[in-house]
Amino acid sequence: MIPTWAQLVYLGCAVGFILALKGLSGPRTARVGNLVGAGAAVVAVATPFFYLDLDHLPLILAAIAVGSLVGVLGAQRVQMTQMPQLVALFNGVGGGAAALVALLELEHMGSFTTDFDVVATAFTIVVGSVSFAGSVVTFAKLQELMTSRPVVPPGLPVAFVAGLLATVVLTVLVVREPAVSTGVVLAAVGLVLGVLLVLPVGGADVPIVISLLNAFTGLTVAAGGYVLGNVVLLVAGTLVGASGTFLTLLMARAMGRSVANILFGALRGGSTLGAGEASDRPVRSAGPEDVAILLGYAERVIIVPGYGLAVAQAQHTLRELVDVLLARGARVDYAIHPVAGRMPGHMNVLLAEAQVPYDQLVEMDDINGEFKQTDVVLVVGANDVVNPAAKTTPGAPIYGMPILDVDEARQVVFLKRSMRPGFAGIENELLFDPRTTLLFGDAKDSLAKVLSAVKSL
Amino acid sequence: MSDPVVWLTIFVLSVFVGIEVIAKVSSTLHTPLMSGANAIHGVILLGAVIVTGTTDSSVALVVGLVAIVLAAINMVGGFVVTDRMLTMFTRKRERP
């Protein structure tokens, strides 16, 4: 039995989590919100040490220390460009932990346990495993350990349905007799389902899947809280499950995609347009001096930063170039696509790191009307978010995604490493447009050359 | 508190609260919000500690310790990386 004082502490922590989420959704309160959440979590975890006579105390404390150390090192060492992967991985291990806790709970269950408790335990095991395996595949896709394009092995839909049926049958079995061995099989099926769920998702949609898996882990923790009879786990898990699901829908809407389409679109086939190979069609490429002349005499310039900019660590050089152009009297803004980078809001984080003033970052809806009056658009390491195929080619994986209307500008300059297509794996017709100029090379290198050429104009 | 209906009540109310508190988030904050929510479900560490501390089988002990390590990574790492993201937003906003 949990003593009353501990129940009250748990209630306080649950309120803390609500305030944390509330804080995180506003720009001024976000940092405080996160700290409130961290504080509530630490208090919640410390509480059982005071009312339970826990065995294996030294080992438990050591395990907490090891996990915390790994977490802190990971969080501090990671490049901002690789953050989405890290969030995916953190989410995955959380799901894995929940599944393991549920497996251990299964061991204590006997005839006195209600069926509903066992079903909740089975749910935790399966969904936790799905979240773990799915997050690992997401990580592999983002880290480019495997192809980021949709992978659809033959028979995938059949295998997926078979897996779902297997979980139902196994859940019935485990309710009739709560055996740990059945739980382990459930976990294995969950792992397979997690892999099958994420494999067919194309690279550009991966952020939405991370958010969905995050919600899954939340629900897993909620179910685990019910089984353990712990109210703070129930509330925290449910909050994350509900807000995570809602956030997933918000993100999908920002990208003009439906969640069902993202998860199951590739299964229906036809969404993997484009070969993903470098094209050998003719393009107009130029040297840094030509680009410098275009930029140096333009009155209105818009910069479209993409993931390639971040990979090349060229944010600082880009800001210098913009400063020089501003000094020459041009109007310059950055056009930020909602999913520029790898996640919604990711590009804002990256440019903030390079100390680009906030008022120069303009969101898509506010800047799209201005491209018609723009002399030069400089696209640095972005591709899919300016691909007109999203408007013109039904059947393209990105069709329907809102894009920056760069194709309406008078001149477009692309800084690109190669003719390789973007993350979505499709060709960009804009590259072959007569108004488009390409400057090949590493973004940082190219920007530095353009910068010195502009200075000497 | 063992009545499932009480738990169901808490669950349903929490769903509404969870949606309501983030309903007005701007797209700029999607990433930190996701990351912060991700850290919050790391509180499963609490569950991992309880089941590990109350077991007497050695297999269960090992599994429980693994769960503790994983959950601690989720919780501690999650809050730290969210804070790191948000520091950049703060610095940016303080610029004249």
Could you state, in order of their start, the residue ranges of all structural domains in chain B? 26-94
Residues in chain A within 8 Å Cβ distance of B75: 41, 45, 71, 94
Q: Do A214 and A276 meet the contact criterion of CB atoms below 8 Å apart?
A: no
Are residues A260 and A308 both part of a single domain?
Answer: no
CB contact under 8 A, B71 and A104: no
Q: Which of residues 16-55 of B touch A (CB under 8 A)?
A: 16-19, 21-55
Work out the number of other CB atoms within 10 angstroms of the CB of residue A110.
8
Are residues A226 and A115 both part of a single domain?
Answer: yes
Pinpoint the alpha helices (H) of A312-414: 315-327, 346-353, 364-367, 389-392
Q: Which residues pair with A415 in a beta bridge?
A: A380, A439
Query: How many domains, in total, are found in chain A?
Result: 2
pLDDT at A194 over 80: yes
The one-character DSSP state at A47 is T
Q: Which residues pair with A379 in a beta bridge?
A: A304, A414
- Of A237, A268, A299, which residue sits at a domain end? A268
The one-character DSSP state at B74 is I
CA distance A254 to A8: 40
Cα A25 → chain centroid: 17
Mutant choice from A239, A334, A342, A356 vs B, greatest count of B C-beta within 10 A = A239
Q: Using only the alpha carbons of chain A, give its radius of gyration.
A: 25
Are residues A163 and A191 both part of a single domain?
Answer: yes
Angle at A199 between CA A81 and CA A249, to 5 degrees: 65
Size of interface A-B (CB pairs under 8 A): 374
Are residues A262 and A310 both part of a single domain?
Answer: no
- Residue B3 is predicted with a pLDDT of 77
Are residues A258 and A196 both part of a single domain?
Answer: yes
> Taking Cα atoms as reference points, which of A51, A235, A237 lies closest to residue A131?
A237
CATH assignment of the domain containing A389: 3.40.50.1220
CB contact under 8 A, B76 and A67: yes
- A112 — pLDDT class (breaks 50, 70, 90): low
Q: Do A362 and A338 meet the contact criterion of CB atoms below 8 Å apart?
A: no
Domain annotation covers residue A37 = no
Q: Which residues pair with A285 in a beta bridge?
A: A438
User: Quick one: average pLDDT of B24-38?
Assistant: 86
| pTM for the full predicted model | 0.81
Domain annotation covers residue A40 = no
State the distance between the two ends of chain A, measured CA to CA, in whole angstroms: 78
The verdict on A145 touching B (C-beta cutoff 8 Å) is no
Its ipTM equals: 0.93
Domain annotation covers residue A142 = yes
Domain annotation covers residue A336 = yes
Domain annotation covers residue A66 = no
pLDDT at A79 over 90: no
CB contact under 8 A, A107 and B57: yes
Whole-number average pLDDT of chain A: 88
Are residues A371 and A423 both part of a single domain?
Answer: yes
Domain annotation covers residue A138 = yes
Give catalytic status of residue A55 as yes or no. Answer: no
CA distance B72 to A94: 8
- Residue A127 is predicted with a pLDDT of 96
The verdict on B10 touching A (C-beta cutoff 8 Å) is yes
Q: pLDDT, tens digit, for every residue of A249-283?
A: 988 877 667 788 777 766 654 344 444 445 567 78
CA distance A354 to A374: 25
The verdict on A210 touching B (C-beta cutoff 8 Å) is yes
CA distance B75 to B38: 8
CB contact under 8 A, A348 and B89: yes
Q: Which of residues 18-47 of A touch B (CB under 8 A)?
A: 18, 20-22, 24-28, 30-31, 33-35, 37-38, 41, 44-45, 47
- β-strand pairing of A361-363 with A331-336: parallel
- Residue A270 is predicted with a pLDDT of 39
How far does the CA of residue B12 sit from the closest CA of chain A (Å)?
A: 8
Amino acid letter, residue B35: S
Domain annotation covers residue A56 = no
Catalytic residue among A384, A405, A442, A445: A384
Are residues A450 and A405 both part of a single domain?
Answer: yes
What's phi and psi for A277, nearest 5 deg?
Answer: -95, 160
- Residue A212 is predicted with a pLDDT of 94
Q: Using only the alpha carbons of chain B, give its radius of gyration.
A: 18
Residues in chain B within 8 Å Cβ distance of A78: 81
- Structural domain for A116, as ranges: 78-268
- B93 — pLDDT class (breaks 50, 70, 90): very low
Q: pLDDT, tens digit, for every residue of B54-64?
A: 988 999 999 99
Are residues A240 and A335 both part of a single domain?
Answer: no
Are residues A329 and A192 both part of a single domain?
Answer: no
| Pick from A33-42, A433-442, B58-67: least confident | A433-442
Q: Do A191 and A128 meet the contact criterion of CB atoms below 8 Å apart?
A: no
CB contact under 8 A, B39 and A41: yes
Are residues A403 and A366 both part of a single domain?
Answer: yes
> Taking Cα atoms as reference points, which of A402, A380, A373, A377 lies closest to residue A389?
A402
Q: pLDDT, tens digit, for every residue of A46-75?
A: 999 999 999 999 999 999 999 999 999 999
| Pick from A16-30, A277-291, A323-337, B10-24: least confident | A277-291
What's phi and psi for A56, nearest 5 deg?
Answer: 55, 35
Domain annotation covers residue A276 = no
Are residues A207 and A308 both part of a single domain?
Answer: no
- B95 — pLDDT class (breaks 50, 70, 90): very low
Are residues A243 and A299 both part of a single domain?
Answer: no
CB contact under 8 A, A94 and B70: yes
CA distance B90 to B85: 9
